[in-house]
Amino acid sequence: MFLFGWRTMPKGSQGQAFRCPLLAAAAIAAAFTLPAYAGQIDEMPYIKAWAYAQAIEDYCFGDAPDERLEPAAVAQAALAGISGSSLSTIADNAAKHLRGDQNACQAAADFVARAIAELPQLDAVVAAEKAKQEAEKQSKAAEATRKGDEERASQTAVCKADIADATEREAAAAPNATGPWIGLKALVIKCAPLVQVDASDLLARLEDRIKAQ
């Protein structure tokens, strides 16, 4: 149970609340509607509930936040890619809200209580989301490995053909014949490690032809 005290509100805010009490109540209720979870981690109430639980303790004379909220908020932030600085901003905004409008304290407390009540259900969703993200990560890694293997296989096939062509061209050329020997030598040097062949004899012959030109 929360016992709410009165603290100074921003200039003009008290008068506005008194002039439109029904609108103010509706706005407060809307601000603390527990979202209908639709499969998106960022729709979960963990972070918001954690932030308001801290603000309730500071500005509404409430109990200390439920110890389950912080790890739940951290888990949601990790899955949604929310940074630590963003979490601090969310907490600061909740504090400013309740510091400036203590009429919202009870609605905030009710929201936090509902979020805590749904923790077991949402924990299962978080576990499923973690498993999904891990499976997607492994799938992407496997796909990257497959593409890498295919690319290496393609490069190896090309290099084998290039080395075979260089060998044939060098063997068929007449002594002291001019040719693209420098380029062929560079190609053989590049390809030999990939196809794992000993090209030392071919490289020596190409070097002799380069010197003879």
Over the stretch 10-40, which tens digit does the pLDDT of each residue have?
Answer: 333 333 333 333 344 445 555 565 555 445 6
Nearest to 92 by CA among 58, 42, 43: 58
The per-residue pLDDT for 182 is 92
Higher pLDDT, 190 or 125: 190
pLDDT band at 8 (very low <50, low <70, confident <90, very high): very low
Higher pLDDT, 42 or 9: 42
- 0.75 surpassed by pTM: no
128-159 confidence digits (pLDDT tens): 878 888 899 899 999 999 999 999 999 999 99
SS3 letters across the chain:
CCCCCCCCCCCCHHHHHHHCHHHHHHHHHHHCCCCCCCCCHHHCCHHHHHHHHHHHHHHCCCCCCCCCHHHHHHHHHHHHCCCHHHHHHHHHHHHHHHHHCHHHHHHHHHHHHHHHHCHHHHHHHHHHHHHHHHHHHHHHHHHHHHHHHHHHHHHHHHHHHHHHHHHHHHHHCCCCCCCCHHHHHHHHHHHHHHHCCCCHHHHHHHHHHHHHC
Average pLDDT, integer, range 88-111: 88
147-203 confidence digits (pLDDT tens): 999 999 999 999 999 999 999 988 998 888 888 989 999 999 999 898 888 889 999
